[in-house]
Structure 1
Amino acid sequence: MGTGKRGLLAAAVTVVCAVTVLAAPGTAFAAPTPTPSTSATPSASPTPPPGKDLEKVRAKLDKLYHDAAVATDSYNAAEERAKEQSTRIVELAKKIVEGQQKLERLKNQAGAAARAQYRTGGLPPTAQFLLSDDPQQFIDGAGTVLNGQRATNKLIAEMTRTQKDLRSYADDASAQWQKLEANRKAKAAAKKRIKKQITEAEKLESRLEKKEKERLAELERQAAYKAQTEWLDTGILEEVNGKASKQGKQAVGFATSQLGKPYVWGAEGPDSFDCSGLTSQAWSKAGHPIPRTSQEQWKQLKHVDIKAMRPGDLIIYFDDASHVAMYVGDGAIIHAPRPGRTVTVAGAGSMPILGVVRPDA
């Protein structure tokens, strides 16, 4: 990790620890929602009061971006399956070509055997013995004939087996094509949902005045602050003191070097990331590939108690495992929050935690 990036992370964590919270403006889907103020009175000032309208806007934006994150996970999963199926189809195509070449060789061998039999007149062995000028020579050659018959039977069996394999490869390839087409449709549907959710969120934000946007950002910070403070107040950090593994340090270093890069759904670097694109690439660069999506990371990686987590571990958020971040120590995470934001440092408790997984367990 570069010196400048280390300094940036260290400075961020130091400031955060001083106020016991990491409430970065980039945090997405912050929860719980702070209680709306009821003391504000209507004013002619263009500055909106911290009332229910902006709270509703914040809640709506949270839902839209959360739904976009769920759709993004579906898109990424469909893309990964499509890649696997495409690879499988290529492998099957190679096997089919090799099988056809093998079958052609076997047919040539069978033809040669048939021609040899034709040259003997196709007579049964008994007739050949009776008509032979030298019966002893015929008897001596009987073993060779028997071996030839065995070879012919083996050749026929090999041809039958090869034909069966070819049918199996063709059936498998057809099934993979059907799955590939289904996943292409799933990707297209997920992409449509993502764009719809993001477009609606952007339209909602575009209708806000400058001061309303500032107030909305403040509400997000307050919500993140409240959630992180409540998490820290449990005393959890007094028990979380795990040390990063060698690969964990490498993963954290990679994630830190991506700070400031924009969130783009479906992206996994090098210029932009979505949440699971960042974590999967970080661990891939550390020499330990992991599943591409946050949901599969939650399903496939080893779960660890939150008290045992260490830098490099992944924190999975929300009941549907739709968001993931990398724990970097001192109650902090690095994550790619949502569209319109950049890779940032935030509080580990600023969103509802589902659990913690360890890639290099």
Structure 2
Amino acid sequence: MNRRRCASAALTLVCALAVLSAPGSGLLGQAYAAPAPPSAPGPAPTTSPPAVAPPPVELPPGVTPSDIAASGEAAASLDEVRKEIEALYRKAASATDAYNLADERAKKQSAEVVGLTQDIVKGQVRLDALKKQAGATARAQYRGGGLPQEAELMLTGDPQLFLDGVGRAREGQKATRALIAELTRAQEDLKTYTADAGTRWQELEANRAKKEKAKKEITKQIAAAEKLESSLAEKDRARLTQLEKDAALTAQTAWLGSGALQEINRTASAQGRKALAFATAQTGKPYVWGAEGPSSYDCSGLTSQAWAAAGRPIPRTSQEQWRLLPRVGVQEMRPGDLIIYHQDASHVGMYIGDGKIVHAPRPGRNVTVTGAGSMRILGVVRPDK
């Protein structure tokens, strides 16, 4: 019985302690705290409503989530739209570089085919003339009875005539050997010209195919970007433009603040000043992919034409400019140098000093001046190094 009473008392004590220490009981929980100051009378406190996230940007009819992001979400923020449009134009820029390179090579190969065709015609004319000359020699020998000149000389009874004939025979033999050698070379040259022309023609056709493939890719990516951008409401398009400017400014500020560029106003070379004057004079002209002026440009069309105007021809595409031109450090760059952007070297601008570039941005934009650090820099090349 005593054990039962003790157990019952212990259980009662545990329950009491649990009630006193429960949150909000205000009893045991405040046993060791200073008493709270009296509060002014007022309405009973109410619990705050849960936070509500701002609604996503509503997509216009006809625009699916796949147009904006691969995740398949039903809506996306304007900044996500901006990034998607930027990615589409980046793909178009890369395809434009492929198109320009194929176009440049096709033009070169076409000129080579024309030159080789002309060589083939000249070679055939030369070969025909040599064959005619060889035929005349053979006919002359036939008219002499078919005997070699040595035999004919042995039959003559005049010693002086014999000696003169020996000299002429030697000269004739030498001329015949030279004629045969030249005829052989002409035939070999003609074969070589024909084979080279065939190879160049195959390369020309391959680059024409690459051009067409790149053209389709460019058209596809630009159309997707324009569809996405044009389908936004007018106010959202205005906000999108502002977001582009804000993103560029943020990147430029971070780049300058990083100390990547210590000296911003180095002196340009004489050729650099000419190239720079040409490039800046094109501001306001529209970007058109594949264009090299004078009324419109793409990014590498602008830089290649600017340096051509300065008397320094450079590769046509930004990727070839990055691959072939001498490189310099970002901290060493001066006005006139070319800054190559993105990991695939698909964009290029010309440094003008003061931390800025002049460039042809993308379809729907004009040649303009912007911060050199507003895009991801791959490196710097100097055409006149």
- Shorter-chain TM-score range: 0.7 to 0.9
Is residue 240–residue 306 contact of structure 1 (8 Å, CA) maintained in 2? no
**Match of residue 107, structure 1, among 118, 122, 131:** 131
Q: Which residue of 1 aligns with 2:291?
A: 267
- 1:306 aligned to 2:319? no
Match of 1:57 in 2: 81
- Residue in structure 2 matched with residue 344 of structure 1 by the alignment: 368
**Separation in structure 2 between the aligned mates of residue 71 and residue 317 of structure 1, nearest angstrom:** 15
Partner residue, 2:95: 71
Distance of 1:317 and 1:326 partners within structure 2 = 11
Corresponding residue to 2:217 among 190, 193, 197:
193
Instruction: Specify whether residues 40 and 342 from structure 1 end up closer, same or farther in structure 2 by C-alpha distance, changes over 3 A only.
Output: farther
Given candidates 229, 234, 259, the residue that maps to 1:235 is: 259
Match of 1:224 among 243, 248, 263: 248
Matched-pair contact (CA < 8 Å) for 1:72–1:266: yes
Shift of residue 220, structure 1, vs aligned partner: 1.1
Shift of 1:263: 0.4
- Aligned CA distance change for structure 1 residues 40 and 333 (closer, same or farther; 3 Å): farther
CA distance in 2, matches of 1:147, 1:240: 77
TM-score by length of 2: 0.79
Say if 1:114 and 1:42 are closer, same or farther in 2 by CA, change over 3 A.
closer
Cα deviation 1:224-251 (Å, max 9, x = unaligned): 1111001110234433442101111111
| Cα pair distance change 1:238/1:343, threshold 3 Å | same
- Specify which of 157, 166, 169 is matched with residue 193 of structure 2: 169
User: Do residues 321 (structure 1) and 345 (structure 2) align?
Assistant: yes
Residue equivalent to 1:160: 184
Structure number with greater CO (CA < 8 Å, separation at least 6) is 1
Amino acid at match of 1:160: T
Q: Which residue of 2 aligns with 1:11?
A: none
Aligned length: 320
Q: 1:182 aligns with which of 206, 210, 218?
A: 206
TM-score of the superposition, structure 1-length normalised? 0.85
Which ranges in structure 2 are unaligned for 5 or more consecutive residues?
A: 1-50, 60-74
Q: Secondary structure of 1:238's partner?
A: coil
Amino acid of the residue matched to residue 323 of structure 1? H
Rg (Cα) greater in structure? 2
Matched to 1:172, the amino acid is D
Residues of 1 paired with 2:153 and 2:197: CA distance?
A: 52
Matching residue of 1:355: 379
User: 1:206 Cα shift?
Assistant: 1.5
% identical aligned pairs: 61
Amino acid at match of 2:208: R
Residues 49-107 of structure 1 deviation map (CA, whole Å, 9 limit, x = unaligned):
xx952122111101100000000000000000000001101111111111111112211
Larger deviation: 279-288 or 117-126?
A: 117-126
Match of 2:165 in 1: 141
Amino acid paired to 2:96: T
User: What's the offset of the Cα at 1:330?
Assistant: 0.2
